[in-house]
A and B are shown apart, each in its own frame.
Chain A
Amino acid sequence: MRKFISGNDAVAEGVRLARPHVISAYPITPQTIAVERLSEMVEDGSLKAEYMHVESEHSAMAAAMGVSSVGARAFTATSSQGLLYMAECLPYASGARMPIVMMNANRAIATPWNIYGDQMDSMFLLNSGWIQVYVEDAQEALDMMIQAYKIAEHPQVLAPMMVNLDGFVLTHTYELVEIPEQDKVDAFLPPIQMSKQVMALDDPKSLCISAGNDFNMEFKIKQERDLQNSVSVIESVDHEFHEAFGRKYHGMMECYKTEDADVVLITTGSITGTTRIVVDQMRAEGKKVGLLKLRYLRPFPAEQLRIALRDVKHVGVLDKNISFGYEGTIFTNVNSALSSLDTVPKTTNYIGGLGGRDITKGNIEEAFEQMMSSDHHDKIQYMNVRCEQ
């Protein structure tokens, strides 16, 4: 069935199909409609779940951990300031290896106060031990809600997963979205399997135990090893999803017209769609440009990036964030991945979209033209700035 719905609606539809047992969430713009829809679904009985009204995002995640610790499927959603307020709980969940799934509507961080979309919020949590995926459109948002549980609950992964979609640009825009059949989703995503760390009445557990300087490091090494190894699970789940539903997202990242490209722009999230159109236009003019849609930031697909970009002359990284005092966060990660190539491509950091500022087709074309020209330019370029810099 196809429906004309918003990104928030698509998230709610995807979550309903994934059959979570408990939803604990606190509303925040621009995520609110997603959790409102879920609350309506619980009310009208189309989603058989417990809906917990919590007093904060910190409590929302604490409740989700309680749900997960008894082997049930938990969902929550947040954005921006809410995500940061919740932040303390995120490493608790990942350290306890709880396969919680969370939607994050990417939104600017105060101050100046701003409710529009950029990706500053989730960048803070790259080190939280959560898997982070960024989606391009509402269809991918819905599909990733279903994939996310399968990835997070995989016995070799057991990590919580954050599905990021751009605030307003995706959460509040409408598109035709294919809603999968429930029986097909049930076949793809079986009920959650009880794992060893789950407690029951006849098998009580101590949760979030301490491990001091004698044993802490080994726990962390195990967590890191398993998150690195989740790449193969992410790829195989996407493959299975394609077989079941006919849509695929190419695992860790999607290469679009990069094979013979001289210049490639790396994007995350909704700006990918705009960039795709610019690439098509410039290709029609005979310009060898390409797009690399980076889907996952954790685990980070360093090896896949090296393979995809080893023959490229110039790589641009579009960051909708700044790590103040340095550069865009994704730029740092990409440069680190490329540094072990024999011939390292030139790289430029395009920082844009902060506080919801538009990034136009023209801005992207300018970036490609700049990377193709031999003129010197600063390593960090701000896109669509309204005054002299």
Chain B
Amino acid sequence: MNRPKLKQWQEPVNIDAYPVGSTCPSDHLTSINAGWRTYRPVIDTDKCVMCLRCFLLCPDGVIDKSGEKLVIDYDYCKGCGICAHECKPGCIEMVKEEK
């Protein structure tokens, strides 16, 4: 999946090591962010027609289309369900997370 990778956060050791100003390199992901999810979207890739509505409408951009089949990045999917709601063939199911 062609997505930014998690980077280990190195805490600055002194004030000099802090960034100059409130700017940092983009794609600087320091942690996963999936704890909000109650239901996870699961794509039935056999039924999927690759219309890419879910890809276009996902507010967090976690649906990857670089491969032959769509893949959801569950590290950053918040479980909002927009993809399932918008999927015309109805091939995305919201499945309750089991802890």
Please give the number of chain A residues whose Cβ is less than 8 angstroms from any Cβ of chain B in the complex.
23
Which residues of chain B have a CB within 8 Å of any CB of chain A?
Answer: 12, 15-16, 18-28
Binds B, one of A37-45, A180-188, A199-207, A367-375: A199-207
What are 28 A-to-B residue pairs whose CB atoms are below 8 Å? Answer: A69-B23, A95-B22, A96-B23, A97-B20, A97-B21, A97-B22, A97-B23, A158-B21, A196-B20, A197-B19, A197-B20, A197-B21, A203-B25, A204-B25, A205-B26, A206-B24, A206-B26, A207-B22, A208-B22, A209-B22, A209-B24, A211-B22, A218-B12, A218-B15, A222-B15, A222-B16, A222-B20, A225-B15
Q: Binary interface profile of A, 249-285, with partner B (CB < 8 Å = 1, else 0)?
A: 0000000000000000000000000000000000000
Determine the distance from Cα of A158 to Cα of B26 in the docked complex, in whole angstroms: 21
- Shortest distance between the CB of A130 and any CB in chain B (Å): 14
The verdict on A219 contacting chain B, using a C-beta distance below 8 Å, is yes
Chain A residues in 8 Å Cβ range of B15: 218, 221-222, 225
Contact: A205 with B22, CB < 8 Å? no
Residues of A near B23 (CB, < 8 A) are 69, 96-97, 197, 199, 205-209
Closest chain A residue to B27 by CB distance?
A204
- In Å, the complex CA distance between A69 and B25 comes to 13
Chain A residues contacting B27 (CB-CB under 8 Å) are: 204
Which A residues have a C-beta under 8 Å from some C-beta of B?
Answer: 69, 95-98, 158, 195-197, 199, 203-209, 211, 218-219, 221-222, 225
Bound-state Cα–Cα, A95 to B19, Å: 11
Name which residue of chain B comes closest to A94, CB basis. B21
- CB-CB nearest in chain A for B25: A205
Distance (Å) between the CB of A327 and the closest chain B CB?
A: 34
A204 / chain B contacts, CB cutoff of 8 Å: 25-27
Task: Give chain B residues whose Cβ lies under 8 Å from the Cβ of A98.
Answer: 21
> Known: A204-B27, A222-B15. Is A158-B20 also a contact (CB below 8 A)?
yes
Which residues does chain B contribute within 8 Å of A95, judged by CB atoms? 21-22
Q: Please give, as numbers and ranges, the residues of chain A lying within 8 Å of B22 by CB-CB distance.
A: 95-97, 207-209, 211, 219
Residue among B18, B22, B27 with most chain A CB within 10 A: B22
Other contacts beyond A199-B26, A219-B18, A222-B18: 19, CB < 8 A? A69-B23, A96-B21, A96-B22, A158-B20, A158-B21, A195-B20, A197-B19, A197-B20, A197-B23, A204-B26, A205-B23, A205-B24, A205-B25, A205-B26, A206-B23, A206-B25, A206-B26, A209-B22, A211-B22
| B residues near A196, Cβ cutoff 8 Å | 19-20
**Taking the nearest CB of chain B, how far is it from the CB of A251, in angstroms?**
24
Interface centre among B15, B18, B21, B22 (most CB of A within 10 A): B21
How long is the Cα–Cα vector from A221 to B23 in the complex, in angstroms? 16
CB-CB under 8 A from A225, the residues of chain B are 15
> In the assembled complex, which residues on chain B have CB atoms less than 8 Å from the CB atom of A195?
20
Residues of chain A within 8 A (CB-CB) of B16 are 222
Query: What CA separation (Å) do A197 and B27 show in the bound complex?
Result: 15
Separation of A158 and B12 alpha carbons in the complex (Å): 20
Bound-state Cα–Cα, A158 to B21, Å: 9
B62 CB to nearest A CB, Å: 18
